[in-house]
Amino acid sequence: MRLKERLTVNETLKRSLRRAFLRRLRRRAFAAAGATAGAAALLVALLWSSSLLPARWGETSHVLAADWSVGEMKTVARLDRTTLAPQGYAASSAGLYLSASVGGLYRLDGARLEKIADGAFGDIDLSPDGRTIVWSTGEQLGAYDLLTGEKTVWLKGGAAAPEAGHAADGPPNEAVYYERPVFQDAHTILLTRRTIAPRETHGFVVRASEIVAFDIRTHAVTVLGEGENPAPVPDKGGFVYVSVAREVPDPEEADEAPSLRPTFEIVYRDEGGQEKVIAHGKDPAVSPDGRYVAYVHVPQTGSFDTPDPPQDALEGVWLVDLDGRTARRLSFNVPAPNAIRQDGRWTVLPYYSYFKPRWAEDVRSLYVLQSTNVDPGGEMRLIRIALDDRPPGPAAVVRAYETATLRGDDFFALRLFPGDQLPPMSNPRKVGFAVLRAEDAPNGERATIDVAEMWSYTSMPYASMVRVRYTLGQEGGEWRILRNERLGEQSVALDERFDSPALVMVDEAGKQTLFPVSEAREAFGTTDAARPTAIAYLPKHGEIIIALADGGDSWIGAYDLEQGAFRLLDRRKGAFAARLLASPDERLLAAELVPPAGGAPTVRVYAADGGWSVDLGERLNADLLYFDEDGTLYTQLSAPGYRALVAWTIDAGGAVERRP
């Protein structure tokens, strides 16, 4: 792949080129009277003194940024970059609000994506009372009332902005743009105001990049200083912002191109106006308790002595204390393929790019956008990172790794098991797991965990149980998987013998014929043309669950390995079972039923003992993915522009509850 093609999907370089400076940005003295945290600080103070705070929040006041661990990183939604890539998003108790690049404002509640307004919104933030969305499209700054649906324009920028200069003849020589608005309190918004002018030859230059405060009552604009991407600090006052500097050959040479690698400094400016550089990166977001800053770490250079630089040299999500005392890398990255070597140095792009961290409603969880630099037409993921002040033990790390591979969260799986070859998301697919044994070594330096993994094919009669042993060690106070080894496998599959197809079991002892398909046809009362389409294996119960289909009809039944007897569980018309899954405790079965003429599949859940069955209540244009250890079923809901996980809990009586 050519470098030009890779740069088009690298946000850091795109932003560098788009906002090319011809001079180094120098921070000016900030206004003596900075805006206060106001209502936001009061809200936090009230929460601290009330029972509304989670009980453990008060227990973490001593935790430094370096002492937090990542308890979980999961994909909340997979967004199509070409149709629904968000330009901005905001988190709230009512769900997530997304502004799409193709226009429109959306609410994502669990796996439900609802369009609530048309038009362009750009960057967005949510007011402290949860009623108002502030938005900026660059040329405009405004508000959207979530209760009334009214969209208001507060400021007009572009070449028509009042503060933009105009040449006597020809086009305007300056234009003003508004970016990254964020509520500081109920009445004040901090944002970046950028003034640009066209070059005589091509492109444009940035005349000024300023942090301003906008009063939504008076519409007064107050310049606070030079910089970009402000993030207010709750409770403590002041704000964090990004200072950008670029090297140029000579400040007098106005038409010389600046360096493509700017220097991003994250600066904390306290309520008294004192400043401190706390990190190098972009997109800062301050935690609700005002103690931490999540940000995107940006390497100082993209040129290395090796095509495989260390993790800390690649772009990623980091956490730093507000005073800059300690920092912790949260995400995982690897170099993109096809690094370029020139003059003995390697130009390396990161495989993953991260954007716009946003905190959830407590200090233990934050969101971030992620995309790859190898697939311009691919997806952008919205990820939720859960923090833990107590590092997970070995068994918890293995569970997190297994769950990440089931969900396709490769970025988290590789963080727990660096260098691993991840299992495929296509056939055969892992569909469940259960921890069998956990053992710590006497010296505490190693731990071993044994796991049973369930694997399956889609629309093919095959199921297997694989026993895997993980060995773990500690790195930086956290457990990491060092290696895994396969201990054994037991599988059930269709043996396509020409004269009489049969189901067979294969393990270390060899192959054993279980029953011919003709016996299942006779026991279930199928047609002579019915063929097996899916299998699930229940080793604890000693049963095989098999689905047969003929055209638009399906039969689902069980075979008792000890008794050699069949029992019919269900007869379905107008659909065939493309996949059968069993929960690890073998209490539940799930069938993905697909109409033969096309259309969205449905999912039906059965008690393994045949006592009841229930539909999940809606059509799912997606995959039946997996059961977790406690019997929660996960499916993947697809709609135009996005995909998201849906979790289903089913009790012993068949009552179904859907949750995000």
pLDDT digits (tens, 9 = 90+) for 611-660: 899 988 665 555 778 999 889 999 888 777 888 888 899 998 999 988 76
CB 359 within 8 A of CB 91: yes
Task: Please tell me whether residues 205 and 301 are part of one structural domain.
Answer: yes
Q: How far is CA 448 from the centre of its chain?
A: 29
Position 329 scores a pLDDT of 93
Residue 626 pairs in a beta bridge with 634
Q: Of the residues 487, 504, 531, which one is the last residue of a structural domain?
A: 487
Q: Which CATH number is 447's domain given? A: 3.10.450.50
Residue 221 inside a domain? The answer is: yes
Structure tokens at 216: 């939504």
Residue 379 has pLDDT above 60, yes or no: yes
Flag whether pLDDT at 385 surpasses 50. Answer: yes
pLDDT (average), residues 492-511: 87
Per-residue model confidence (pLDDT) at position 323: 94
**Whether residue 298 sits in one domain with residue 330:** yes
| Residue 525 CB coordination number (10 Å) | 11
Do 324 and 470 share a structural domain? no
For residues 443 and 370, membership in a common domain is answered with: no
Q: Determine the pLDDT at residue 578.
A: 87
Distance CA 370, CA 351 (A): 10
Pair of tokens at residue 19: 């906002």
Quote the tokens at residue 46: 């009230």
Note whether residue 500 is domain-resident: yes
Question: If you average pLDDT over residues 552-577, what whole number do you get?
Answer: 92
- Winning range, highest mean pLDDT, from 425-429, 498-502, 519-523, 644-648: 519-523
pLDDT of residue 619: 55
What 8-state DSSP symbol labels residue 297? Answer: E
> If we measure between CA atoms, which residue out of 630, 579, 629 comes closest to residue 605?
579
Of the three residues 353, 380, 407, the one that is the final residue of a domain is 380
Is 609 among the domain residues? yes
Q: Which residues pair with 565 in a beta bridge?
A: 560
Grade residue 475 by pLDDT with cuts at 50, 70 and 90. confident
Average of per-residue pLDDT values in the chain: 82
Residues 238 and 97 in one domain: yes
Q: What is the pLDDT of residue 27?
A: 35
Q: Which residue has the higher pLDDT, 413 or 112?
A: 413
Same domain, 444 and 576: no
66 inside domain:
no
Q: Would 391 be classed as within a structural domain?
A: no
Last residue of a domain, one of 453, 487, 521: 487
Shared domain for 458 and 498, answered yes or no, is no
Q: Give the mean pLDDT of 158-183.
A: 70
Q: Tell whether 293 is covered by a domain.
A: yes
Q: Could you tell me if 375 and 409 lie in one domain?
A: no
| Whether residue 225 sits in one domain with residue 101 | yes
- Tell me which residue range forms the domain holding 299: 80-249+258-380
Domain co-membership, 21 together with 149: no
In a domain, 388, yes or no: no
**Both structure tokens of 236:** 């403590």
Judged against a pLDDT cut of 70, whether residue 298 lies above it is answered with yes
Q: Which has more pLDDT, 367 or 196?
A: 367
Same structural domain, 503 and 649: yes
- The CATH number covering residue 317 comes to 2.120.10.30
List the strands of the sheet with 105-109, edge to edge: 86-92, 95-100, 105-109, 112-117
Domain count, the chain: 4
Lowest mean pLDDT among 303-312, 360-369, 598-607: 303-312
How far apart CA 503 and CA 545 sit, in angstroms, is 11
Average pLDDT estimate for 223-230:
94
Tell whether 243 and 266 lie within a shared domain: yes
Structure tokens at 337: 């393929």
Is 350 contained in some domain?
Answer: yes
Rg (CA), the chain: 28
What's 510's domain CATH number? 2.130.10.120
Yes or no: say if 336 and 348 are a contact pair by the CB < 8 Å rule: yes
What proportion of the chain, given as a percentage, has pLDDT over 70?
Answer: 82
End-to-end CA distance of the chain, in Å?
Answer: 38
Say if CB 625 and CB 646 are below 8 A apart.
no
> What pLDDT does 334 receive?
85
Average pLDDT over residues 58-83: 82
In the structure encoding, which two tokens stand for residue 28, read together?
Answer: 């000016």
